[in-house]
């Protein structure tokens, strides 16, 4: 009989607390992703319900301000070019902090300029000026635009139809049209469509069948693609799709949805994460034998939260494997920050007017006419 699995809270907390300040030179490879490090660590701490000391929070705000590009958006580090991925991470990190100081870091007018500057005629977005296109960019753009209230229909014109082209014969989504269905890209495409209110355009039944099939019958965790290995990070990218689909089906009038469970085996996922994905010294990981890192710490914990909490504001049902102390805070399945922080950010930014972006939208529209 196995002992009840335990979340190594204290060890994870120490690992995260240290990482928020100092990282070894093995993190040189993430020197162009430092806002991500802020987000992964802050989100992990908020899931563990560990408070962020005010001084630390302020330091994060000031650092992210240095990552903000003069032309809008956030870069991977001070002095680098703006890129949609660190922009997503920075905005999320600032929303987790949730202070006036944090919200005020974001230059909304310039952020809108940046989004227009990466928008493509076919509805897609490049990740950065002169960079590559894939469905992550639509999610990053939709996420930051909706949270900071700079979203206009024009900005996302043709984006839903481009995302839809990413759904393939497998039922999941690939990075660009034609590619193999993949958990990370499927999450990004689906969540983007949810933000844009267009999730019903997907073949939801085919998507549902694809994602539930990604849960491994022996390991309990999820694989990213058919016939590949389990990985702890897909605990969020894949399992996180089920709350999104539940809501989508509900909106479509589906009467047979469960009122207690997501359509994946919640207990088995919790077992996989707690028994196979924890480093005894703190931090979480892909699978046994792999090294810990802050990305896996964030997404394993996010997946654990999804597996523990069913429902929404009105209906909430918990399934905690092991001790009550294993319980994490709930996470919002679209933004992957805590729901209170989403609400608070929306409340703050929706008091502000949507910036009118004359130059870029005009330029964009005229370029399209010429195209």
Partner 1 sequence: MFYRDRKEWADLEPVPQDDGPNPVVKIAYSEKFSDVYDYFRALLKKDERSDRAFALTAEAIELNAANYTVWHYRRVLLQALQKDLREEMRYITDIIEEQPKNYQVWHHRRMVVEWLNDPSEELEFIADILSQDAKNYHAWQHRQWVIQEYKLWDNELEFVEKLLEEDVRNNSVWNQRHFVISHTTGYSSPAILDREVQYCLNQIRKAPHNESAWNYLKGILQDRGMSSHPGLLEQVLELKETHCSPYLLAFLVDCYEDALENNNQKETLNRALEVCEYLAQEKDTIRKEYWLFLQRSLESRFECIDVLLCQGISPLLKSDIKNGV
Residue with tokens 């660009």: 176
In the residue annotation, 9 being an active-site residue is answered as no
Known catalytic membership, residue 107: no
Long-range contacts: 50-55, Cβ < 8 Å, 24+?
A: 50/13, 50/16, 50/17, 52/96, 52/97
Phi, psi of 335 (to 5 degrees): -95, -20
The question of whether 276 is a catalytic residue gets the answer no
**How many binding residues for partner 1 (CB under 8 A)?**
75
Stretch near partner 1 under the rule CB under 8 A, chosen from 100-108, 151-159, 207-215, 356-364: 207-215
Least distance between partner 1 and beta carbon 222 (Å): 11
**Residue 169-198 contact track with partner 1, rule CB under 8 A, x = bound:** xx---xxx-xxxxx----------------
What is the number of other CB atoms lying within 10 angstroms of the CB of residue 357?
21
31 classed as catalytic: no
In contact, 5 and 322? CB cutoff 8 Å:
yes
Q: Taking contact as CB under 8 A, which single stretch among the options 152-160, 258-266, 319-327, 345-353 is the one that binds partner 1? A: 258-266
d(CA 213, CA 91): 33
Q: Which two tokens stand for residue 225?
A: 């693609």
Q: Which of residues 52-81 bind partner 1 (CB under 8 A)?
A: 55-56, 59-60, 62-63, 66, 75-81
CA 6 to CA 324: how far, in whole Å? 10
Q: Is 21 a catalytic residue?
A: no
246: annotated active-site residue: no
Q: Is 164 in the site for partner 1 (CB under 8 A)?
A: no
Q: Is the dihedral of CA 239, 240, 241, 246 positive or negative?
A: positive
Smallest distance, partner 1 to C-beta of residue 34, A: 5
The residues in 218-257 that bind partner 1, with binding defined as CB under 8 A, are: 220, 225-228, 254-257
Shortest Cβ distance from residue 350 to partner 1 (Å)? 29
Q: Which of 207, 132, 196, 184 is nearest to 160 (CA)?
A: 196
Which residue in the list 107, 113, 134, 286 is annotated as catalytic? 286
Given candidates 15, 162, 237, 262, which one binds partner 1 under the rule CB under 8 A? 262
Length of the chain: 371
Both structure tokens of 317 = 């049902």
Q: Which of 43, 128, 136, 296 is catalytic?
A: 296
**To the nearest whole angstrom, how small is the minimum distance from the Cβ of residue 365 to partner 1?**
26
Site for partner 1 in 12-31 (CB under 8 A): 19-25, 27-31
Shortest gap between Cβ of 254 and partner 1 (angstroms)?
A: 7
Q: Tokens 């979340």 label which residue? A: 7
x/- string (CB under 8 A) for partner 1, residues 300-339?
----------------------------------------
CB of 291 to partner 1, least distance (A): 16
Residue 126, helix vs strand vs coil: strand
Do 275 and 4 form a contact (C-beta atoms < 8 A)? no
Does the protein bind partner 1 through residue 49 (CB under 8 A)? no
| Long-range CB contacts for residues 64-69, cutoff 8 Å, separation at least 24 | 64/35, 64/38, 64/90, 64/93, 64/94, 64/105, 65/105, 67/34, 67/35, 68/105, 68/106, 68/107, 68/110, 69/110, 69/114
Pairwise CA distance, residues 227 & 313, whole Å: 36
Stretch that binds partner 1, among 113-121, 202-210, 232-240, 314-322 (CB under 8 A): 202-210
131 binds partner 1 (CB under 8 A): yes
3-state secondary structure of 234: helix
Stretch that binds partner 1, among 95-103, 115-123, 165-173, 319-327 (CB under 8 A): 165-173
Q: Is 228 a catalytic residue?
A: yes
* Residue reference for tokens 């996180």: 240
State yes or no: residue 106 binds partner 1 (CB under 8 A).
no
* Paired tokens of 76: 């991977």
Catalytically annotated residues: 182, 225, 228, 231, 233-234, 286, 293, 296
């Amino acid at each position: 009989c196995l002992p009840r699995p335990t979340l190594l809270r204290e060890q994870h907390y120490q690992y995260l607390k240290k990482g928020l300040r100092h990282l070894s030179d093995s993190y040189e490879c993430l020197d162009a992703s430092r806002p991500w490090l802020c987000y992964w660590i802050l989100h992990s701490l908020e899931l563990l319900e560990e408070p962020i000391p005010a001084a630390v929070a302020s330091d994060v705000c000031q650092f992210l301000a240095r990552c903000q590009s003069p032309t809008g958006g956030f870069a991977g580090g001070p002095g680098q070019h703006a890129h949609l991925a660190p922009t997503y991470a920075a905005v999320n990190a600032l929303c987790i902090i949730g202070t006036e100081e944090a919200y005020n870091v974001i230059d909304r007018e310039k952020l809108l300029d940046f989004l227009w500057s990466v928008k493509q005629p076919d509805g897609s977005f490049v990740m950065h000026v002169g960079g590559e296109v894939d469905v992550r960019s639509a999610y990053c753009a939709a996420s930051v635009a909706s949270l900071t209230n700079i979203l206009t229909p024009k900005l996302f014109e043709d984006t839903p139809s481009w995302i839809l082209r990413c759904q393939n014969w497998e039922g999941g989504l690939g990075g660009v049209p034609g590619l193999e269905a993949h958990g990370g890209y499927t999450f990004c495409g689906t969540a983007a469509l949810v933000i844009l209110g267009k999730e019903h355009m997907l073949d939801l039944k085919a998507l549902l069948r694809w994602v539930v099939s990604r849960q491994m019958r022996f390991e309990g965790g999820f694989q990213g693609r058919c016939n590949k290995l389990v990985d702890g990070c897909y605990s969020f990218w894949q399992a996180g799709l089920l709350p999104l689909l539940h809501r989508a089906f509900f909106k479509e009038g589906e009467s047979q949805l469960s009122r207690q469970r997501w359509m994946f085996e919640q207990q088995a996922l919790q077992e996989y994460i707690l028994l196979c994905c924890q480093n005894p010294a703190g931090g979480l990981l892909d699978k046994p034998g792999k090294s810990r890192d802050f990305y896996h710490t964030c997404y394993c914990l996010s997946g654990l939260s999804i597996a523990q909490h069913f429902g929404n504001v009105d209906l909430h049902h918990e399934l905690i494997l092991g001790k009550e102390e294993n319980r994490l805070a709930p996470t919002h399945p679209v933004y992957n920050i805590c729901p209170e922080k989403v609400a608070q950010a929306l409340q703050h930014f929706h008091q502000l007017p949507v910036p009118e972006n004359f130059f870029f939208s005009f330029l964009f529209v005229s370029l399209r006419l010429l195209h």
